[in-house]
Amino acid sequence: MPKEPQKTFEQNMQAMSKMSPAEMAAKIKDLDKICICGKCPTYVGTGEKKLTFCAIGKSTMIKKDKGCVCPGCPVQKTLALRWDRYCLKGSGMDQSVKK
Ligand code: SF4
Ligand code: SF4
């Protein structure tokens, strides 16, 4: 069977926008489990507890850019994200509109 072409980030968001708030919360919880922000130098030591900034948007606690490990994260690939530093620059959705 031919492989389905990879969806763009915008197409993935379109699909997610049809989810109920409960489904969305469950999805983000799943993504939290694979998010690697916890290993990022920008994250470590800030006291931040939240994860998956590509979905939830900027952190209120992270202020200083010390590098970003998002390009190596499986979520980046799964959702076809094209950006980085979501904790500082905003969610994929925010950055998609800006560019
Ligand atoms: S892409 Fe970055 S912010 Fe999103 S889940 Fe992965 S490490 Fe976390
Ligand atoms: S979004 Fe990128 S820069 Fe921010 S904590 Fe996660 S990996 Fe680090």
Assess if residue 83 is contained within a domain: yes
DSSP annotation of 45: T
Q: How far is the CA of 1 from the centre of ligand 2 (A)?
A: 37
Query: How many other C-beta atoms are found inside a 10 Å radius of the C-beta of residue 57?
Result: 18
Pocket test for ligand 2, best of 49, 61, 75, 86 (most atoms within 8 A of CB): 86
| Contact assessment for residue 52 and residue 32, using Cβ atoms and an 8 Å cutoff | yes
Q: Which domain holds residue 27?
A: 9-94
Assess if residue 99 is contained within a domain: no
Nearest ligand 1 atom, CA 36: 7
Q: Which ligand is nearest to the CA of 87?
A: 2
Three-state secondary-structure class, residue 97: helix
Domains in the chain: how many in total?
A: 1
Assess if residue 20 is contained within a domain: yes
Nearest ligand 1 atom, CA 86: 3
pLDDT in tens, 50-87: 999 999 999 999 999 999 999 999 999 999 999 999 99
pLDDT in tens, 26-41: 999 999 999 999 999 9
Could you identify the residue written with the tokens 């990022």?
40
Could you identify the residue written with the tokens 């489904």?
23
